[in-house]
Amino acid sequence: MTPTYYLLLSALLFSIGAVGVLVRRNAIVVFMCIELMLNAVNLTLVTFSRINGKLDGQVMAFFVMVVAAAEVVVGLAIIMSIFRTRRSASVDDSNLLKY
Amino acid sequence: MNTAPVVPAVTTSPSASFLLWLLLLVPLLGGIAVAFLRDAKTAKLAALGIALLEFVLVIPTWIAYDPAGSRIQLSSSMDWIPNFGVHLALGVDGISLVMIALIGLLMPIVIGSSWADKLPEGRSVGGFYALLLVMQAGMIGVFAATDVFLFYVFFEAVLVPMYFLIGRFGGPRRQYAAVKFFLYSLLGGLIMLGSVIGLYVVSGDKLGSGTLDWATLTTVISQESQATQTWLFLGFFVAFAIKAPLVPLHTWLPDAAAEAPVGVGVLLVGILDKIGTYGFLRYCLPMFPAASKDLAPLVLVLGVAGLLYGALLATGQNDMKRFVAYTSIAHFGFIAVGIFAFSSQSVSGAVLYMFNHGLSTGMLFLVVGMVIARGGSTLISDYGGMAKLTPLLGGLFLVAGLAGLSLPGTNSFVSEFLVLIGAYPSRPVFAILATIGMILAALYVLWAYQRIMHGPVRGDALLGALKGPGAVAAPETATRQGIKDLDAREIAVLTPLVVLIIVLGFYPAPILDVIGPSVEATLHSVIPLGGN
Amino acid sequence: MLATVLTAQPVPPADKLSAPAIDYGAIMPVLIVLGAACVGVLVEAFLPKHQRWPVQVVLSLATLAGAGIAMAVYLGDESTPKNGVITLAGTLAVDRPALFLWGTLLVLTLGALLLIADRSVEPGGAFVAEAAIRPGTIQDRAQVAGTGMQTEVFPLTLFALGGMMVFTSANDLLTMFIALEVLSLPLYLMCGLARRRRLLSQEAAVKYFLLGAFASAFFLYGLALLYGYAGSVKLADISNAAAGTDRSDALLFGGLGLLVVGLLFKASVGPFHTWTPDVYQGAPTPITAFMAACTKVAAFGGMLRVLQVGFESTSWEWRGVLWGVAIVSMVIGAVLGLTQTDVKRMIAYSSIAHAGFLLIGSIALTDQGLSGTLFYLLTYGFTTLAAFGVISLVRNADGEATHLSQWAGLAKRSPVTAAVFTFILLALAGIPLTSGFVGKFVIFSAALQDGMAPLVVIALIASAVAAFFYLRVIVLMYFSEPAADGPSVTVPGAFTTASITLGVIATLVLGVLPAFALDWAGSGTFAFQ
């Protein structure tokens, strides 16, 4: 199986994630979509690593995972804090800040 | 090309160049000091003292300037921002010297005339006079700068004190007027900034490293291609046309002048607007001769349009301050025609007009201010027959008005005459149209004078101000305690202007001698291209 | 470590891995900042609550001083190479622009830190006592009145600063990505820590976080595509690959596009600006000041390096797009700024317009463009820092009074504050004798030199439009009568005074005597290796 399919798959995952961020309303789901995007990038990196015959792409995937974990910590904390107040994680309810 | 004497563009004469620095720094530092004076009387006296000192300083500067000498004199220069070749460079030629003299002359008069002004509640007197003095410093900087960057800095910096003077101390619609004034000027200034940067870049391409020195730029840029010159010219031209103001970029002036306090209005129409016409002479013509020549018809059309339009609107005005503003727009049209007719008489006439207009319109504005101070209304229809109550004020109104309509024997006549005879050979159509403007001037001045001063005493403002039994029924015989004629301060303020208006009407030579060589040098850059 | 692996490429099977050489002198400022941030976390863990604030303040200020001294020592050293060093196995480039940006970041952070540490304007500072307190509860009302403060803000600030410093000197995209996250994550948190108006603050944090993470995912995907294109994420390798191959341009420009979107988002360039007004308004004002000044410096520093080092050879392909982006940003900033009624939002839109100007400088790929943009970043940082410093002073019973109508007649209540804010607004409008004017001059002249005359004209017109909303505030402050129940101006304590003074004096000095800073900004170019 050619590595190109992996690239296409990762592009597809990335797009699904990006569309999810734009259309979903629940902050947790939006956040998961972002995680999906990051993991799609991981797949891309590993695939290119394979295509180029170098290992550094795989190492970069580890870095991305670490960063994603840190992002989860911060992100969930922020979403939790607003959820505890509003009893809702919908981004539509966050509407105090506008013109 | 070879007719004009070859003189070095700039000579440094350190002996007297400190005078310009003094002229710049005295009002600047004085203004800052006045801002901190709490007591109103002290602040006024200090401001007047500084303005008089400034006037005294103008005298040695005038003497030190040698009309037969080099183009730019009393010059000095020091590095400011070497990265852009920007210098703190001051110097004067005849034209800027005359304008500086006008500033020095008008400033004590403005302060004297503002002496009894009631400022809006809660505004500090010290602040008002401080802003006036700082603006004076800025205006002197505009005329004395010989570095384009420095000129631009002063050009923009003047806006700030003027903005606050109108916005804080002006009439009922002052906010609107101040913001309109500022935005118009800032827009012009930013467009000019584009051209200033363009000059820097073009000179950088030519010389290896960019410069903003005026003398260097005049030699470098004037050799550029027509297209380059035109673009750069337009940037400067728009800024100056807003400042001058030429129709159709004039709409800020009536608002600003109407809302400004009288003294500030005098500075506005008397000096600040001259920056525009001065800019044509100092920057547009020498730096972009090809573009100036090319676009001269456009400017002439705008000038004549302003001349007629200003005159017509002045005729129809009911607000006295707006009336003065529109007469001013008409006069600036005249000046623009004089400059862009490119003959030595017309340009000399235009420069002389710049000076004379400061005197005559300045005086008209002051007199109008005195009328308003008595009646409390700015509308012409609120007055009538005032000369019966205040004969002296009526007489001086007439003098100022006649100077405004260029009656022979007043200073403006000489300048208008020079513009017309200079413009006629090359631009007969425009000269004839300008003559129509002169006729209209007689109409609007005399009509306004007649409505305000002649006839039976009438009008809400006058009748309302008259007190005593039977005042309204028989105003002519009523006690005049409501409306007094000019007091000593007002006479002292107006006397120098009257004297100068008449003296320069008969003997303009001192000024013409000073500006002559500079005008020739300015024209020299355009005429070789067949401008005349 | 990544560094080790990158040097070892392509991996020969039996080769021993050797540790890369590290120029400790060059990276000492970053090490000090990040080290002190870790110490700050330990302080939080081990010191009792009442001792934390003084210790953290002293620690943070000492850190900035130490990093500044380390940088000065490094710069003063005769053996320091003029054109920069690349260290840590090619991941960090400590060259003149990087050092300039580091210095800028350190000084601006000093100003922001003084605002953060201030407890005079609001008793206990602008930060919530415990981030976990729910808004609207009894505990929340108690903490508003109390003087407790979440002192984690200080180490978080230092972490963010460390991230920014690495970001501006990152020589490969992965380092850049890590630095981007290191600088962003603390900012997300700090946005949510306002003492008052907790809901707004938390909402700002959520928005900033979600959109920020979204943008960094784009950045990352761009990185992956460029890795696929060039087989390396080093900027120089990408540049070489783009210059000398016939590989698929789709990967190159797709990667660049996604990468730049991530950067433009951080720099709050329109149309990627949507988070900016909300976050600027909701975040605690000292954090807004920190974000507005320092994040912009870091983001444009990174963008300059990416564009100039990595993509100069293909500039004619992408420059048109960034032209458009710059125009959009200036127009959005200037036009939408007109409609704002909140001072913080107004400054946010002004920052979007300024980001457009900065982008003009960044895409003029010349030495003048580089030095001009660096200088502009320096001037803009100081001015905006002082602006938010002043905004934090105008308060009523509910905290800051940011609605414009509340600023009416401020000059009467507090002439000095009004005068200082007027000066700042004139600087933002670019009136001569302020640093904003010199900044505009350098950027526009660089752009004109690089043949971008139409862009300069649009920028000048945008400046004129933007001037209108600055003027509107001046009109309100000076020409309007104060409202009866208007806000009062707090007399600031030493910290805030120092911070505002720093910003104002820098704005004035850089406007009147800019030569020395221009020399620094133009003292060298990016290292290419």
Pair of tokens at residue C69 = 């001294």
DSSP bridge pairs for B206: none
Q: Tokens 């500079």 map to which residue?
A: B518
- Residue B61 shares a structural domain with residue B207: yes
Closest CB from B178, B179, B197 relative to C444: B197
With an 8 Å CB cutoff and a minimum of 3 pairs, decide whether chains C and B touch.
yes
Nearest residue of A to residue C7, measured between CA atoms = A56
Q: What is the mean pLDDT of residues B178-205?
A: 92
pLDDT of residue C301: 96
Phi, psi of B73 (to 5 degrees): -120, 175
pLDDT of residue B526: 79
- Residue B226 shares a structural domain with residue B307: no
Q: What is the pLDDT of residues C482-504, one digit of tens each?
A: 877 778 888 888 999 999 999 99
pLDDT of residue B6: 41
Nearest residue of C to residue A71, measured between CA atoms = C185
Q: What amino acid occupies position C284? A: P
* CB-based contact C519 B182, cutoff 8 Å: no
Phi, psi of B245 (to 5 degrees): -95, 145
pLDDT of residue B2: 39
Contacting partners of chain B (3+ CB pairs under 8 A): C
In chain B, residues with a C-beta closer than 8 Å to the C-beta of C367 are none
- Are C395 and C487 contacting, i.e. CB atoms less than 8 angstroms apart? yes
Residue C455 or B459, more confident:
C455
Closest CA to B260 of B183, B154, B372, B336: B372
**CA pair distance C329, C342, nearest whole angstrom:** 20
> What residues have CB less than 8 Å from C1, skipping those under 6 apart?
none
Pair of tokens at residue C154 = 């200080």
Q: What is the mean pLDDT of residues B443-456?
A: 90
How confident is residue B481, by pLDDT bands cut at 50, 70 and 90? low
Predicted confidence (pLDDT) at residue C20 exceeds the cutoff of 90: no
Domains identified in chain B, total number: 2
Predicted confidence (pLDDT) at residue B17 exceeds the cutoff of 80: yes
- A89 at C interface, C-beta within 8 A: no
Q: Tokens 């000073």 map to which residue?
A: B514
Q: What is the mean pLDDT of residues B143-161?
A: 93
Q: What is the pLDDT of residues B285-327, one digit of tens each?
A: 999 999 998 899 999 999 999 999 999 999 988 999 999 999 9
- C132 at A interface, C-beta within 8 A: yes
A83 to chain C, minimum CA–CA distance in Å? 10
Predicted confidence (pLDDT) at residue C386 exceeds the cutoff of 90: yes
C40 within some domain = yes
B366 within some domain = yes
Per the structure, the complete domain to which residue C131 belongs is given by 20-521
Predicted confidence (pLDDT) at residue C159 exceeds the cutoff of 50: yes
Predicted confidence (pLDDT) at residue C381 exceeds the cutoff of 70: yes
Q: What is the pLDDT of residues B345-374, one digit of tens each?
A: 999 999 999 999 999 999 999 999 999 988
**CA pair distance B296, B531, nearest whole angstrom:** 9
Closest CA to B21 of B82, B75, B98, B79: B75
Q: Which of B1-15, B461-475, C83-97, C127-141 has the lowest mean pLDDT?
A: B1-15
Q: What percent of chain C has pLDDT over 70?
A: 97
Nearest residue of C to residue A31, measured between CA atoms = C210
- Residue B256 shares a structural domain with residue B387: no
Q: What is the pLDDT of residues C280-297, one digit of tens each?
A: 999 999 999 999 999 999
* CB-based contact B80 C515, cutoff 8 Å: yes
Predicted confidence (pLDDT) at residue C9 exceeds the cutoff of 70: no
Q: What is the mean pLDDT of residues B250-270?
A: 92
Q: What is the pLDDT of residues C504-528, one digit of tens each?
A: 999 999 999 999 999 999 988 898 8
C28 within some domain = yes
- Residue B271 shares a structural domain with residue B293: no
Q: What is the per-residue burial (b if ≥16 Cβ within 10 Å, else e) of B370-386?
A: bbbebbebbbbebbbbb
pLDDT of residue B355: 94
- Are C132 and C192 contacting, i.e. CB atoms less than 8 angstroms apart? no
Per the structure, the complete domain to which residue B154 belongs is given by 15-287
Domains identified in chain C, total number: 1
- Residue B251 shares a structural domain with residue B298: no
How confident is residue A25, by pLDDT bands cut at 50, 70 and 90? confident
* CB-based contact C207 A99, cutoff 8 Å: no
B77 within some domain = yes
Predicted confidence (pLDDT) at residue B127 exceeds the cutoff of 50: yes
Q: Which of B72-76, B234-238, B278-282, C287-291 has the lowest mean pLDDT?
A: B72-76
C456 to chain B, minimum CA–CA distance in Å? 7
pTM: 0.92
Closest CA to C159 of C35, C53, C52, C62: C35
C4 within some domain = no
- Residue B262 shares a structural domain with residue B306: no
B286 to chain C, minimum CA–CA distance in Å? 23
State ipTM.
0.95
Q: What is the pLDDT of residues C296-347, one digit of tens each?
A: 999 999 999 999 999 988 888 899 999 999 999 999 999 999 999 999 999 9
Coil vs helix vs strand at C170:
strand
> What residues have CB less than 8 Å from B333, skipping those under 6 apart?
B246, B247, B302, B303, B304, B305, B306, B307, B308, B309, B310, B437
**CA pair distance B518, C36, nearest whole angstrom:** 67
Q: What percent of chain C has pLDDT over 90?
A: 70
- C15 at A interface, C-beta within 8 A: no
pLDDT of residue B332: 93
C513 to chain B, minimum CA–CA distance in Å? 7
* CB-based contact C460 B190, cutoff 8 Å: yes
Q: What is the pLDDT of residues A40-74, one digit of tens each?
A: 999 999 999 999 888 999 999 999 999 999 999 99
C180 within some domain = yes
**CA pair distance B108, B57, nearest whole angstrom:** 13
Cα dihedral sign, B8-B14-B18-B19: negative
- Residue B281 shares a structural domain with residue B340: no
DSSP bridge pairs for B444: none
Closest CA to B310 of B246, B238, B359, B365: B246
Pair of tokens at residue B235 = 């940037």
Q: How high is the mean pLDDT of chain B?
A: 88
Binding-face residues of C in 263-302 toward A, CB within 8 A: 277-278, 281-282
The greatest distance separating any two alpha carbons of chain C, rounded to the nearest whole angstrom, comes to 81
Mutation site, B80, B168, B186, B228, interface C, largest C CB count within 10 A:
B186
pLDDT of residue C21: 87
Domain ranges within chain A, ordered by starting residue:
26-88
Mutation site, B86, B149, B193, B206, interface C, largest C CB count within 10 A:
B193
In which element (H, E) is residue C92 found?
strand C92-94
pLDDT of residue C524: 87
Which of C32-36, C367-371, C459-463 has maximum average pLDDT? C32-36
Nearest residue of B to residue C437, measured between CA atoms = B153
How confident is residue B466, by pLDDT bands cut at 50, 70 and 90? low
Nearest residue of B to residue C426, measured between CA atoms = B160
- Residue B345 shares a structural domain with residue B252: no
C12 within some domain = no
- Residue B246 shares a structural domain with residue B297: no
Predicted confidence (pLDDT) at residue B531 exceeds the cutoff of 50: no
C55 within some domain = yes
